[in-house]
Amino acid sequence: MDQEFLIRKIEKYADQKGIPIMEKEGIEFLCEFIKLNKVKNILEIGSAIGYSAIKMALSSEDVTVTTIEKDKDRYIEAVKNIKKLKLDSRITLIFADALDFDIEEDFDLIFIDAAKSQYIKFFNKFSKNLKPKGFIVTDNINFHGLTYSDKTKMSKNLRQLITKLEKYINFLNDNKDFKTRFFEIGDGIAISRRRRKK
């Protein structure tokens, strides 16, 4: 089966099962960014069913992706999808909770797309795995337009999540070591890079 067809199938599956894969414009933007900046190795936190890892790996033949997923069923589905697309040599899937998992390698790009309430933790934990000129990309900064919106009508859980995301945005804005740019693309994307030492 051809690549495009398999990818459409993954998108459909995600839609039917309510799996929050990246929005189309968001993933296209990220893939362009990867090509433009000649990114070679990527660490992804939150694989779900492998969609974004597959798209990133397909953006250029010399891209490799290491991706971490803690949900067993999604991990199994991701393994299947990556095999179908014959990308097992370039995508390494790890079944683990990223917060309990340590990795030695340093990466050109770290893509944070797992539990939104833990974003600060992911950022702090994995920034040590970033090459000096690498990028940390974060998805779902806008969370369907809910960050910085009126919270009075939200459920308690949603309100807590949005509050945490807002804390993350403040954390990025106030960060002394990293400079962040925010893009109103897809569900909102942040790209952070180390500030140059003075």
Q: In the chain, how many H helices and how many E strands?
A: 6, 7
Q: How far apart are CA 24 and CA 4, in angstroms?
A: 14
Query: Residue 51's CB: how many other CB atoms inside 10 A?
Result: 21
Helix (H) or strand (E) holding 52: helix 51-59
The pairing of strands 64-69 and 41-45 is parallel
Nearest-approach distance from CB 197 to ligand SAH, in angstroms: 31
152 Cβ neighbours under 8 A, 6+ residues apart: none
Six-digit token string for 141: 């900064």
In DSSP terms, 135 is beta-bridged to 109, 193
Interaction of residue 20 with ligand SAH, rule CB under 6 A: yes
The pairing of strands 107-112 and 130-138 is parallel
Residue 108 contact partner, candidates ligand SAH, Mg ion, none, CB within 5 to 8 A by sort of partner: none
Six-digit token string for 56: 């990133």
Stretch that binds ligand SAH, among 67-75, 143-151, 169-177, 184-192 (CB under 6 A): 67-75
Nearest residue (CB) to ligand SAH, 42 versus 98: 98
* Amino acid (one-letter) located at 24: K
Nearest-approach distance from CB 38 to ligand SAH, in angstroms: 22
Stretch that binds ligand SAH, among 14-22, 83-91, 123-131, 174-182 (CB under 6 A): 14-22
x-or-dash string of contact with Mg ion, 120-149, rule CB under 5 A:
-------------------xx---------
Nearest-approach distance from CB 48 to Mg ion, in angstroms: 8
x-or-dash string of contact with ligand SAH, 91-110, rule CB under 6 A:
------xxx-----------
Tell me the DSSP string of 99-149: GG------EEEEEE-S-GGGHHHHHHHHGGGEEEEEEEEE--SSTTTTTTS
Interaction of residue 115 with ligand SAH, rule CB under 6 A: yes
Residue 77 contact partner, candidates ligand SAH, Mg ion, none, CB within 5 to 8 A by sort of partner: none
Residue 140 contact partner, candidates Mg ion, ligand SAH, none, CB within 5 to 8 A by sort of partner: Mg ion
Site of interaction with ligand SAH (CB under 6 A): 20-22, 46, 48, 51-52, 68-71, 74, 97-99, 113-115
Site of interaction with Mg ion (CB under 5 A): 113, 139-140
